[in-house]
Amino acid sequence: MKKLLTLLFALAVAFSLSMPAFAQEPAAPEAAPKTEKKKVEKKKAAPKEKKEKKKKEEKKAEAPK
| SS3 per-residue string spanning the chain | CHHHHHHHHHHHHHHHHHHHHHHCCCCCCCHHHHHHHHHHHHHHHHHHHHHHHHHHHHHHHHCCC
pTM above 0.85, yes or no: no
Specify if 1 maps to a domain. Answer: no
Specify if 64 maps to a domain. Answer: yes
Specify if 53 maps to a domain. Answer: yes
**Ranges in the chain, pLDDT < 50:** none
Which range of residues forms the domain containing residue 47?
41-65
Specify if 4 maps to a domain. Answer: no
Specify if 22 maps to a domain. Answer: no
Specify if 49 maps to a domain. Answer: yes
Specify if 3 maps to a domain. Answer: no
Number of structural domains in the chain: 1
Specify if 61 maps to a domain. Answer: yes
